[in-house]
Amino acid sequence: MSQFQFRKKYSKKITTIFSGIWFLDPPKDISVDGWRIDNVIQYTDAVITLYFGIVVLAMLYFIIKYRARPGHKAVYDKGDTKKHVGITLAMGMLVFLSIDVVIEGMSFRDLKEAFWNFPKGENVVKIEVMPQQFAWNFRYAGDDGEFGTEDDLIPSQNQMHIPVNLPVVVQVAPYDVIHSFYLPNFRVKIDATPGMINTMWFQATETGNFEIACAELCGNSHYRMKGYLTVESEEDYNNWLQSLEEEGPVDEWEDEDGEIPTRWGWIWKETI
Ligand SMILES: [Cu+2]
């Protein structure tokens, strides 16, 4: 069994074991690569739980062994002998090597194999996302496959649809302040940074209705900046696009001054 298969199997098992225990039960993972994030968290949790247990047991042992009792005098120990410094450094290195270095290695591998390994080809679904205070705007390219053109499709605010089992690439740029596009059920999140177009991709394995959250405190109504993601069959998805097309061009939303944001809808930035 390769390291990849082992991690995948082990990660899904742990998730199943802990489901139902509210503080250990993450939102349902309905993505191809979400298990990688869960796995890094599980590894970190397991190792720090083990070390915490060891520290607590050691403290209990010393508390009992060196308790105050007649005939035993307290001694002040600076702990600066070579031996003490050596033990401290060794324990520090143990934590650093067995936690930091390992999860760094896992994370870089996940980035390379999955999250930064952008899908290419005809079947990639492209969506532009523009958050604003306090809502989500989505844009689909329409028949010509180009963004920022007449036939772009814009659903009502906070409504995003994607097909199941197809890779989805989103490009995110905010209208105003920093927001963060977060899909808890996919374990992915990307900041919407003013002046930048940020990209990420994901793929759903199940249909259903899921939540889109803003993961960056963006103002006084940040808490209610919620979007609705519908994952559906490719056929239903295409029908939905068709229905948007039939509705005709929607009125783009206006800001307080009645102006349509000019930065909305950009030329798709190809990922290398
Ligand atoms: Cu926000």
Q: Are 109 and 134 contained in the same domain? A: no
User: Could you tell me the two tokens for 28?
Assistant: 């349902």
Task: List 128's β-bridge partners, or say none.
Answer: 139, 171
Answer yes or no: is pLDDT of 263 > 60.
no
Between CA 208 and CA 185 the distance in angstroms is 11
If you measure from the C-alpha of residue 129 to the centroid of ligand 1, how many angstroms do you get, rounded to a whole number?
Answer: 12
Contact indicator for 232, 208 with CB cutoff of 8 Å: no
Structural domain count of the chain: 2
Q: Quote the pLDDT of residue 201.
A: 96
Give the Å distance between the CA of 221 and the centre of ligand 1.
Answer: 8
Claim to verify: residue 163 and residue 99 sit in the same structural domain: no
Q: How far is CA 248 from CA 47, 186, 237, 261, in A?
A: 56, 32, 17, 20
How far, in Å, from the CA of 251 to the mean position of ligand 1? 22
Q: Which residue, 178, 243, 240, is CA-closest to 215?
A: 178
Residue 6 is predicted with a pLDDT of 77
Residue range of the domain that includes 207 = 125-247
Q: Rounded to an integer, what distance in angstroms lies between the CA atom of residue 43 and that of residue 33?
A: 16
Alpha carbon 53 to chain centroid, angstroms: 29
Last residue of a domain, one of 115, 150, 175: 115
139 and 110: one domain? no
140 & 243 share domain: yes
pLDDT surpassing 80 at residue 76: yes
User: Do 188 and 146 belong together in one domain?
Assistant: yes
Residue 262 has pLDDT above 80, yes or no: no
Pair 9, 70 in one domain: yes
Dist. CA 227 → ligand 1 center (Å): 11
**What's the pTM?**
0.84
Note the pLDDT of residue 258: 55
**pLDDT on residue 23:** 67
* pLDDT tens, position by position, 140-197: 988 888 887 778 888 988 999 999 999 999 999 999 899 999 999 999 999 999 999 9
pLDDT band at 61 (very low <50, low <70, confident <90, very high): very high
In a domain, 185, yes or no: yes
Which of 81, 33, 222 has its CA nearest to residue 89? 81
What pLDDT sits at residue 113? 93
Please give the pLDDT value at position 138.
Answer: 94
Is residue 133 domain-shared with residue 193, that is, in the same domain?
yes
Q: What is the mean pLDDT of the chain?
A: 88
94 and 154 together in one domain: no
* d(CA 216, ligand 1 centre) in Å: 6
Distance 72 CA to ligand 1 centre (A): 62
Calculate how far, in angstroms, residue 224's C-alpha sits from the geometric centre of ligand 1: 9
Ligand 1 centroid–CA 76 distance in Å is 54
Calculate mean pLDDT across residues 84-96. 94
Instruction: Please give the pLDDT value at position 235.
Output: 96
pLDDT digits (tens, 9 = 90+) for 219-241: 999 999 999 999 999 999 999 99
